[in-house]
Chains A and B, each alone.
Chain A
Amino acid sequence: MTPADPCPSELRLVQLDAGEGAAPVAARAAAHVTGCRRCQARRAEIAAVRRQVAASSASPPSWLAPPARRSWRRRAVVPALAMAAALALVVVGWRGPGGIATDGGERRKGGGLVLTVYIHRDGAVVPGADGAPVFPADQLRFALSGAVGARYVAVLSLDGGGRASVYAPVDAGPLRLQLGGPRQLVPGAIELDDVIGPERLIGLACDRPIAVAALRARLEADRALPPPAGCVSAELTLDKRARVQP
């Protein structure tokens, strides 16, 4: 491929950049680029995007990285499982009753937040739904969808003992996800402790950073959590049962 040849496609330039493709084809494309200003500009654009993505994601998203042990644990000490190889991936999504979501205290039909849970148990994934049984040491991950745009998100829980917990964000800082398309996995995960009873999960997506500590306290005190202004919420309850010993 010389400068007189037609310009290579974007795919060919990407492969040139990535060192892929048959050697003769790559050599012809490289020769063409050397003498073609348009293709030099296109190749420079590809390289710029590669650098930009590399800079903005120096490390892969948390759901691809090995899980941090502490993020899989909840307050109670439970036996460690072989978590390194485990990630729950069956998708079980649901909305509030009748597809109604709440928005700043107002109930709103359709298009509301959807909280999805992934349940990992004994090396496999089991599907769940609102009211599904879960057991101590089950591991849960969450995903959100339905709301639109970049939103601050959180997942809180109220367990059978009346204790509220913040499941996400797992770190101190606010957690922002781009919602609007398919479900977005919430970084981090939790491992259920041995408190038995209904486990209420509440997902929030807000326009502003969420004061999770204050909301956790309110949830524990009131046993309810109306979504703050500028937030949409979704809620579901899992039925946490004791494991039956064989």
Chain B
Amino acid sequence: MPATLSADSRAALARLYRDHGYVVVLRGRRLLGSDAEAQELLHDVFDTLVQRAAAGESTPMDEPAAWLYAVATRRALTRIRDSSRRAHLLAAQLAPMLDGSPAASTGRAAELADLLAQLPADELRAIVHFHVDEFTHDEIAAQLGCSRRHVGNLLGRGRQALHALAGAIEEETHDAC
């Protein structure tokens, strides 16, 4: 994959980093739970952008903050999938949507974290945007680049999967009693 980064691309990415890098840090703190993780995410995101630019992909500059917000969210969720500890942090933030079922309790966070890691990427993003970020369906659609109807479908499937898990855990808990 031959690739070079033009001086213009490098300057544009440097501007993006300087002016809007904080958006990535915000997402990192919210989704990954620490400053150190947020700084890693910042580096990770811009490392990826440099590679994309070198491969000839352009960086949308119409609304850089919103675009970077989406990129950072995607990367953060990828990192969450790669780490059970991070998945636990996200599980804790999503627990309220399970209405205090046993799955939401600290003791069962592992199962919830496992399921989060297994959810399809778009379903997980929709769930996080809705339940953690308090997005409207329109905002989720804009971030995911899909229709409102599709957002509804993603949220429906994601919630169904999570509630199915909650139910299974609840049954398991009762059986144990």
Which of A's residues lie within 8 Å of B, judged by CB?
Answer: 6-7, 9-12, 14-15, 17-18, 20-21, 46, 49-50, 52-54, 57, 59-61, 63-66, 84-87, 89-91, 120, 123-127, 150, 178, 180-185
Q: Contact: B7 with A12, CB < 8 Å?
A: no
Report the Cα distance A17→B66, complex, angstroms: 11
Which of B's residues lie within 8 Å of A, judged by CB?
Answer: 1-7, 10, 13-14, 17-18, 20-23, 25-26, 29-30, 36, 39-40, 42-44, 46-47, 50-51, 54-55, 63-66, 69, 79, 133-136, 139, 143
Shortest distance from the beta carbon of A225 to any chain B beta carbon, whole Å: 27
Q: Contact: B4 with A20, CB < 8 Å?
A: no
Residues of B within 8 A of A57 (CB): 17-18, 21
Q: Contact: A85 with B25, CB < 8 Å?
A: no
Residues of B within 8 A of A52 (CB): 22, 25
Residues of B within 8 A of A65 (CB): 10, 14
Residues of A within 8 A of B6 (CB): 85
Closest B residue by C-beta to A182: B44
> Nearest 6 A-B pairs (CB), nearest first?
A18-B65, A124-B2, A89-B54, A53-B22, A60-B14, A50-B22
Identify 6 new A-B residue pairs, CB closer than 8 A, beyond the known A12-B139, A64-B46, A85-B4: A52-B22, A60-B17, A87-B5, A89-B3, A181-B79, A184-B43
Report the Cα distance A10→B14, complex, angstroms: 24
Shortest distance from the beta carbon of A54 to any chain B beta carbon, whole Å: 7
Q: Contact: A125 with B1, CB < 8 Å?
A: yes
